Amino acid sequence: MIQLSPRLAAVARHVPAGRPFADIGTDHAYLPVHLVQSGRVPRAVAGDLLPGPLQAARATVAAAGLADRIDVRLGSGLTVLAPGEAPCVAVCGMGGPLIARILAEGPLAGVERLVLQPMGGEAQLRRWLADNGWRLVAEEVVEDGGRLYPVLVAEPGRMGLTRMEEEVGPLLLRQGGPLVVRYVDEKLELARRALAGASRSDQPAAQERAAQLSELVELLARALRICAGDR
Ligand SMILES: C[S@@+](CC[C@H](N)C(=O)[O-])C[C@H]1O[C@@H](n2cnc3c(N)ncnc32)[C@H](O)[C@@H]1O
């Protein structure tokens, strides 16, 4: 059976058992192959925009002998799916803004759960979810090869988000714990470095950016105290 990295294993744990599944931006199709091999889902669609990854996905599916249960499709985002074909859709390993664009392009009719694993830019993704009728039902931070990755699970519903919740995640903020503290600390460090860079310029655009970053630094410092239990 295909062994998943800790990052993709965390994604797999949020896929409901017994129902069809779609992995959008599948690359090597490790996630859908693992889920079908393990018996967690009966069948899957593996979609990718590019012919190279699609070929890699076909090779993994063929080597696993699962071509009759995993359909590999070329195309952008969820456009490769028929309406209602997959109640759970994963979009992982891409930037948050790109994931949000893929979701906006749809179609999302019939999708009951999204499992998303953004590589940065998750504030924009959370904002898109809140603005478009999705609510977060689970969030976690997973460590893989020394790096931290957020996993976001959303279902149709309403969700209000403060700026801090947008940046850190409403559920992560409540959960706290050592990985969440590290996740917020890394964000804070990045924001501080960006602020130092922007502050060196006297261009009006850089000054405006510095003001935004200064607000972000202050917000993340407060979030860090909350996550560390130092409210
Ligand atoms: C870095 S890989 C991630 C692979 C896997 N999902 C993971 O998390 O390990 C990103 C994949 O998304 C695909 N991709 C990018 N934009 C896409 C889109 N609009 N629709 C479908 N796939 C896309 C790329 O071709 C690439 O194979």
Task: State the residue for tokens 């797999």.
Answer: 12
The confidence band for 74, taking pLDDT boundaries of 50, 70 and 90, is: very high
Mean pLDDT of the chain: 96
76 CA → ligand 1 middle, Å = 9
Q: Which atom of ligand 1 is nearest to the CA of 26?
A: 6
Give the mutation target among 33, 49, 98, 147 for probing the ligand 1 site: most ligand atoms within 8 A of CB.
49
- Residue tagged 């995640």 (tokens): 169
Q: How confident is the model at residue 6 (pLDDT cuts 50, 70, 90)?
A: very high
Residue nearest to atom 7 of ligand 1 (CA): 93
CA distance 209 to 87: 40
Ligand 1 pocket, residues with Cβ under 6 angstroms: 8, 24-27, 47-50, 53, 76-77, 92-94, 102, 117
- Give the C-alpha separation, 52 to 67, whole Å: 18
pLDDT digits (tens, 9 = 90+) for 169-178: 999 999 999 9
- For the cut 70, the answer to whether the pLDDT of residue 231 exceeds it is no
Provide the residue count of the chain: 231
Q: How far is the CA of 90 from the centre of ligand 1 (A)?
A: 11
- Contacts for 35 with CB less than 8 Å, ≥ 6 apart: 12, 15, 21, 41, 44
When pLDDT is averaged across residues 20-32 and rounded to a whole number, the result is 98
Mean pLDDT of 200-228: 93
pLDDT digits (tens, 9 = 90+) for 106-129: 999 999 999 999 999 999 999 999
Rg (CA), the chain: 19
d(CA 182, CA 166): 17
Report the distance separating Cα 137 and Cα 36, nearest Å.
24
Q: What are the pLDDT digits (tens) for 35-71?
A: 999 999 999 999 999 999 999 999 999 999 999 999 9
Classified as helix, coil or strand, 217 is helix
Please state whether the peptide bond connecting residue 107 to the residue before it is cis, i.e. omega within 30 degrees of 0: yes
- Quick: pLDDT tens for 131-169: 999 999 999 999 999 999 999 999 999 999 999 999 999
SS3 189: helix
Could you identify the residue written with the tokens 């925009």?
49
Structure tokens at 26: 């599948």
Edge-to-edge strand order for the sheet containing 44-48? 70-74, 44-48, 21-24, 88-94, 113-118, 147-156, 134-144
Q: Ligand 1 mean position to 171 CA, how many Å?
A: 26
Q: How far, in Å, from the CA of 10 to the mean position of ligand 1?
A: 18
Choosing from 26, 91, 94 the residue with most ligand 1 atoms within 8 A of its CB, the one to mutate for a pocket test is 94
